[in-house]
Amino acid sequence: MGIEERFALQGVKILVVDDDPDSCELLEMVLQVYEEAEVRVFLCVNDALADFSQFQPQVLISDIAMPHEDGTTLIRAVRSLPVEQGGKIPAIALSAMAREEDRQIALEAGFDRYLVKPMIFEELLSTLRDLLEETIEVSRSSV
């Protein structure tokens, strides 16, 4: 099944957290302009957490290595929330660290997927669609 035939990202609320403004701008462009998702970007964990409950994102994409608070701090804070407040949101970690240990730390912290930078956008989009499809299937099976 081709990417264009899969789950549409149009209107999906995506929260992006990365301390690199260029990465944020690129992610926002790809997700918002080309995929028509509703995207909010933040350069730090504290600002993202402050906006989390108001925005109510459907997907979280976060860098791991950031100054002050890192991506694992962010996902742990999100996972501590009740389900109805977004505690089980699908989450993708982005990192320039390609070691298996780094991947394992991110997944154990609560991320669902781990992608290595520089990312291939088709891989990111495919991963987003997979996570959203899995979330919908889980929701349907628990009803």
* Terminal CA-CA length for the chain: 27
Q: Specify the CATH number for the domain of residue 125.
A: 3.40.50.2300
139 or 54: whose pLDDT is higher?
54
What average pLDDT does the segment 64-78 reach? 96
Check: pTM over 0.85? Answer yes or no.
yes
Please indicate, yes or no, if residue 2 is contained in any of the structural domains: no
Q: Cα separation of 142 and 35, whole Å?
A: 29
pLDDT of residue 143: 47
In a domain, 36, yes or no: yes
For 84-119, write each residue's pLDDT tens digit. Answer: 999 999 999 999 999 999 999 999 999 999 999 988
| 126 HSE (CA, 13 A, CB side) | 10
74 assigned to some structural domain: yes
Identify whether 1 is part of a domain: no
Domain ranges, residue 87: 7-141
Is residue 135 pLDDT above 90, yes or no? no
Evaluate whether residue 117 is within a structural domain.
Answer: yes
Residues linked to residue 116 through DSSP beta bridges, in sequence order: 95
Ranges of H-type helices in the chain: 21-28, 45-55, 71-79, 100-109, 121-141
Q: How many domains does the chain have?
A: 1
Proportion of the chain in helix, strand, coil states, percent, rounded to 5: 50, 15, 35
What pLDDT is recorded for position 4?
Answer: 46
Distance CA 55, CA 57 (A): 6
Residue 101 counted as domain residue: yes
- Arithmetic mean of pLDDT, 113-127: 94
Query: Model confidence at 59, in pLDDT bands (50, 70, 90)?
Result: very high
